[in-house]
Amino acid sequence: MNQIKVFSPATISNVACGFDVLGFPIYSIGDEMIVKKTKKKSLIITDITGYSVPYDINKNVSTIAAKAMIESLNPNCGFDFKINKKIIPGSGIGSSGSSAAASVYAINKLLDSPLNENELISFAMRGEVVSSISEHADNVSPAILGGIVMIKSLSPLEVIKLPTPKDLYCFVINPKIEIKTSFSRKILPNKVKLKNTTKQVSTFGSFIHALHTEDYELIGRSLNDYLIEKHRKKLIPLYDEVKSIAIKQGALGCSISGSGPSIFALTKGVEKANEINRLVTELYKTSGNDFSTYVSKISEKGVSTMSN
């Protein structure tokens, strides 16, 4: 195989109760990439469509991740990248994670799969680090593995795929304003209250238990963020109003997606997610901000090969 086209999904990370350690992909949006083997042993980006990202291979997360990977594998070829950047950078739905996952997955396939999924996640993270100035695997892991994923540890990397209750749907609104992850992390405090940490640990634990037991009511009582939301929500237009609509319509929970500005809500069944979509769209039209919304089942599939 000399060329491959891949789809790499957007991801919702943190999932309210698991800052830096929980994430899942959605079906509705993702980056597309065509990667081709070249005779010359180098990396080149020859085309970028969609949102603007750098052509410079030392600045683009896809090629930064790819570079780390080929330095380790030393293949007898180079790679040409054509990127269709569908996820706006700084969106909070794993834009850089999606691109990094796409390139390492594509190269691995073109080289007859020498690396396992854990190794791919490690190399994809090398791209993420550059874009967010921090190590976190809660976007790249679900983008590669699919399903709800928990990051047990970064060093050594240990990720655990959790069960996805079948009626779980996700609503997402992506206001088209850029919030850089590096900035969104800089505004977080270095110290948190012990009382809040205790509450967070218990809701994280109950969320994991609820996924295993398909207990939607307990999922609803676990999707709380006692540590991060209060610091970041001020960066997001109409955050409280969106959350209030989602909760009134019976969402199991609603919080910031990743480092924002996207907001997500989880629902049992698609009808509630569609109704939240309708009402939040009406509200957001009045805000003067451009935005997109998505309703999706939690995707069991990570990055995958496209047919052409």
For residue 136, state whether it binds ligand HSE (rule: CB under 6 A): yes
Residue 289 corresponds to which amino acid? N
Would residue 198 show up in a list of annotated catalytic residues for this protein? no
Least CB distance to ligand HSE at residue 152 (A): 15
Which residue in the shown chain puts its C-beta closest to ligand HSE? 258
Tokens of 106: 């594509």
Radius of gyration of the chain measured on its C-alpha atoms: 19
Contact of 104 with 120, CB cutoff 8 Å: yes
Catalytic entry in 32, 128, 229, 275: 128
Does the N-terminal peptide bond of residue 114 adopt cis geometry, omega within 30 degrees of 0?
no
Query: Which of 259, 293 has the CB closer to ligand HSE?
Result: 259
Binders of ligand HSE in range 138-177 (CB under 6 A): 138-139
Q: Note whether 260 and 132 are within 8 A (CB).
A: no
- Residue 108 or 184: the one with the smaller Cβ distance to ligand HSE is 184
Say how far apart CA 30 and CA 8 lie, in whole Å.
Answer: 5
| Residues in Cβ contact with 248 at an 8 Å cutoff, skipping those fewer than 6 apart | none
- Count Cβ neighbours within 10 Å for each residue of 32-43 and write b for 16 or more, e otherwise: bbbbbbeeeeeb
Using CB under 6 A, pick the residue from 6, 7, 12, 13 that binds ligand HSE.
13
Active site residue 128: yes
The interface with ligand HSE within residues 20-39 (CB under 6 A) comprises: 20
Alpha-carbon distance of 77 to 206, in angstroms, equals 48
Please identify, among the stretches 53-61, 165-173, 178-186, 237-245, the one whose residues bind ligand HSE according to the rule CB under 6 A.
178-186
Out of 259, 267, 296, 299, the only residue in the binding site for ligand HSE (CB under 6 A) is: 259
Kindly tell me which of 138 and 275 has the beta carbon lying closer to ligand HSE: 138
Return the active site residues.
128, 181
Contact footprint for ligand HSE (CB under 6 A): 13-14, 20, 132, 136, 138-139, 181, 184-185, 258-259
